[in-house]
Chains A and B, each alone.
Chain A
């Protein structure tokens, strides 16, 4: 799966979990600041991503997800 496809999945989950319009999301978007996501929403998004991609993301990785790009980088290494 390439970056564009992973991005599309993330955008869909953001829209579903936090009602964020796809137009608002770029790779540089900062999860908590730019997208105004709460920690609970981030965990929900991660849980959704795990289910979507059929993987388990270790808890120690969670704090490294600052931007959308961080998420894509991580997922690319696991499912790319």
Chain B
């Protein structure tokens, strides 16, 4: 079959926003297993999972003024070590990578191909295939299909800005950047749940409040602005989508001196719950994708499109003081995997560069812990202590903080 015959435009626009960012956004999930990884078995596991999930067997082809997807007929090969590779340049054209070191498996992917929620089904499948081979776990591994691309035209009909002229009235929050530093904060999940119950809010709302209180001394105003993303698969009726399905929201909260969690939690929770409503998600996602489509339609060189895209994002309510992504269960946010898989996983980390903020928090829940992976573009030494203090003041138990080091390559 010729390459022309395998050209696909399906799924292209769902990730197109990542063409227009100044840098490729590479994400990493890393799972630490109970024992050192057997690379031969891991390779077999990846091959088996890839056979069952053809969505990931694709490559991105960029021609002068055209970008499309084509089937990748090259074998995928795992690699040793923890180094983040450039995708697709160093991964045989694949838009993801798998490597290992000691007992840890590193899964990296280019954000174009999937969001965290979507990719997890594939990564979890690799782990299941591996555990079947390494431990005889006996997990059932049926084919992994992706939902068809959602109807972009139908989505864009919800865009309230489609016919608007003039620039948005938002005041952009400047993103400061210096020497990025990574750290991990581990929280006792039950103590956060208890703090949330005391305020009558969702645990994630309490977490947003606590991080706002911790960050406020680092921004030169009382109001702290944060952004978070919500998964829109159910709203779009594509629960099995691998591709990006996200609506992002920004909210500001007055977290000045003397403010306690109880003073702000209800407002945060109300805003969060409102953003989970289907119509709110549709409207916001339509605004985001509408902007992507308008940039995509520009007849201009890629570098001009990239700059226009970033100006539009800055004017259109992004960025913020911090970004937070609450993954929940790192093996499957919908918990649609065999619970026994948890027994083989000892630890988890997630590293996604904070594209629209000075600091980003990626938060996962595993074995009774909330694992907050923090990327601070300003490398502030006092940040971890400030977060710990804010947590402990509200009765949330901090199990530990770890300075992980500088940014991963390509995530600076």
Interface residues of A (CB under 8 A from B): 17, 32, 38-40, 42-44, 46-48, 50-51, 58-60, 62-63
In contact, B298 and A44 (Cβ under 8 angstroms): yes
Bound together, the chains give a CA A43 to CA B311 distance in angstroms of 7
A60 with B172, Cβ < 8 A, contacts A32-B165, A32-B166 known: yes
Fill in one digit per residue for B286-315: 1 if any A CB lies within 8 Å of its CB, else 0: 000000001100101001100110011011
Main secondary structure on chain A at its contact with chain B?
helix
* Contact present for A44 and B300 (CB under 8 Å): yes
Q: Is the CB of B167 within 8 A of A62?
A: yes
- Check B171 for interface membership: any CB of A closer than 8 A: yes
- By a CB distance below 8 angstroms, the chain A residues around B315 are 59, 62
Closest to A17 in B: B300
Interface size on B, residues (CB 8 A): 20
A52 to chain B, nearest CB (A): 11
In the assembled complex, which residues on chain B have CB atoms less than 8 Å from the CB atom of A63? 167, 169
13 contacts between A and B (CB under 8 A): A32-B166, A42-B167, A43-B311, A44-B300, A47-B300, A51-B304, A51-B307, A59-B172, A59-B311, A59-B314, A59-B315, A60-B171, A60-B174
CB A55 to nearest CB in B, in angstroms, measures 12
Q: How far is the CA of A60 from the CA of B171 in the complex (A)?
A: 7
Known: A40-B298, A43-B312, A59-B172. A48 touches B167 (CB 8 A): no
Beta-carbon contact of A51 and B303 below 8 Å: yes
A38 vs B308: C-alpha distance in the bound complex, in angstroms? 13
Task: Determine if B167 and A40 form an interchain contact, defined as CB atoms under 8 angstroms apart.
Answer: no
Q: Which one of A17, A40, A42, A51 contacts B294 once the chains associate, using CB atoms below 8 Å?
A: A40
